[in-house]
Amino acid sequence: MEEVNEALDAFEDFAAENIHLVPKLNIGAVGLSDDPEAIAERERKKFGVTIADQMTWQNGPVTARREWRKRIEDHGIFTYMIPMPPAELSGFSLYRQSVAAICVNDNEATEGRKVFTLFHEYCHLLLRQDGISDENNNNQVEKFCNAFAASFLIPRDALAEAVRNRTDYEFSEGEVKKIAARFRVSSAAVALRLEKTGFAPRGFYGRRIAPWDLPEEPKTSRTGTPNQITIQLKRIGRLHARTVLRAVDQHVINSFDASQLVGLQPSSLPKLQAKVG
């Protein structure tokens, strides 16, 4: 969390020098008295991603995570994927008046869970609050954010079509996994959504969640081992990288300061620039 806090400190300093260096935070605001499903429908329209778009993303949740992350950054939110002990937390979010960030635990068991965490934390920002979450259902805020994330990623009408409007049905593990693959999400998210919509019986999520989202088998990359720039860019996000590089270009910071903020040697900055465009 310290790394992300320090980045936001730097971006606030950039904005004090030149307000145009840091993208404007462009998100709505909600309260716990609002309907999370209605909020999810509204926010999804802002993102401009249809169910057809979501279902055609190749490589399943891996591509979904990249696409959703890009669109969250388009709203002026800095995103980070930092490996942390998986037992501690799924992610966290930091909200300030002019800047905000979401950090996902890159040691999450599956890519689908990382996608869910992105939107769980996005909901914390809509609530105008910081969040440190393990995606449990133990308090009102966490329940609200879970409901929002599941509703956003798996809209009711699309889910009804996928399950052929069955109600109070005890879905098998295979059926849940098939639905998860369809929506490019985790099995846990599907289980939660099925219960909340009434397509599955009460208690379905609690009974089924434990064995489903097991760690995925690592896949061999066709392009070989990622280089350090690619690894670091995944960690800090493109919005962070572009903002730092703009600050160098505008002489707000020097290349050494920039290298500290992106975690690369100063000599690597031109390659990072070429990577982010």
Quick check: 110 and 135 in contact, CB under 8 A? no
Q: 152-175 burial, b for 16+ CB within 10 Å, e for fewer?
A: bbbbbebbeebbeeeeebebeeeb
Q: For residue 220, what pLDDT is reported?
A: 44
Q: For residue 66, what pLDDT is reported?
A: 94
Name the pairing type of β-strands 91-95 and 78-82.
Answer: unpaired
pLDDT of the chain along its 277 residues, tens only? Answer: 899 999 999 999 999 999 999 999 999 999 999 999 999 999 999 999 999 988 888 877 889 999 999 999 999 999 999 999 877 888 999 999 899 999 999 998 888 889 999 999 999 999 999 988 765 556 889 989 999 999 999 999 999 999 987 888 889 888 998 998 889 888 888 988 999 899 999 888 877 655 555 555 445 445 567 799 999 999 999 999 999 999 999 999 999 999 999 999 999 999 999 999 8
- Residue 104's DSSP bridge partners are 81, 91
Quick check: 214 and 111 in contact, CB under 8 A? no
* 3-state SS record for the chain: CHHHHHHHHHHHHHHHHCHHHCCCCCCCCCCCCCCHHHHHHHHHHHHCCCHHHHHHCCCHHHHHHHHHHHHHHCCCCEEEEECCCCCCCCEEEEECCCCEEEEEECCCCCHHHHHHHHHHHHHHHHCCCCEEECCCCCCHHHHHHHHHHHHHHCCHHHHHHHHCCCCCCCCCHHHHHHHHHHHCCCHHHHHHHHHHHCCCCCCHHHHHHHHHCCCCCCCCCCCCCCCHHHHHHHHHCHHHHHHHHHHHHCCCCCHHHHHHHHCCCHHHHHHHHHHHC
The reported pTM is: 0.89
Quick check: 258 and 250 in contact, CB under 8 A? no
Q: CA-CA distance, 148 to 49, in Å (whole number)?
A: 16
What does the longest C-alpha to C-alpha distance in the chain come to? 61
Quick check: 155 and 148 in contact, CB under 8 A? no
Domain limits of the chain?
2-154, 228-276
